[in-house]
Structure 1
């Protein structure tokens, strides 16, 4: 397994060795992609799973963390979902870029209960790996080009370490320039 520069004080193991740190859909998707030995996983305290707390606690750089947000919008009575991956130092452009991509009049963050039920992942740990097949996975260009990035594992007691290349290779991935805006 590769050496991860963004792990801070954490010990990284191949995801295949610690499936208990992954939500079931995440573990299954990594196996199907043949990436469960390539992706790293770390065990963390679930109380510090939120990105800023995670980075402060474990010494992982904030600019090497990416957040996955679940966005929903309606069109003709049908709810359309998408996942957006942006670096933690940015925000997803929900009202313009994602709304247009979903072809809905209004898009917003999906309610927590819906996001958890639809993904079978823990809120705060939702990740683009293992999402429902019909959801687009929208990646900001900076995420897709990242040599390594920390993302959720589908649980709050683990984090995945992956390459942007792996995320861009997901079957439903779409790399979108301008998906993220700097946090002001």
Structure 2
């Protein structure tokens, strides 16, 4: 039941991302970003963004970044402007990218970083995505990189939790 609710919530944000990506005038980057932050359980992140940026400035920064991300094939170049937005970091910048295009992008958060050893920076993110794309291609799997990452997240989370639960 919980997995189904998570899936439906994710699909809803993916649809918002697709709407935004297709330049639908009813969706702006602020709405998209706020939805991503809510999906990623980051209301603090959204609050932080709106505290440190005037909304027109934040909207311009998001518009500029997401236009680059949609147009480039270079993953490090896609995430770097998002990481430069004060308050996003790799985790929430990658959540934005993942919802923008789940076939090209996935989430690199602390669970994946700690569980699988990928650095939380643009270079680590690029390596992570290259590994995901190569795995899918090598095994002929019909999934998006975001779907593969989601499965890895649940596996890595168990390992990370077990490590944290062990006495020091």
TM bucket normalised to smaller: under 0.3
Greater share of residues in helix: 2
Greater share of residues in strand: 1
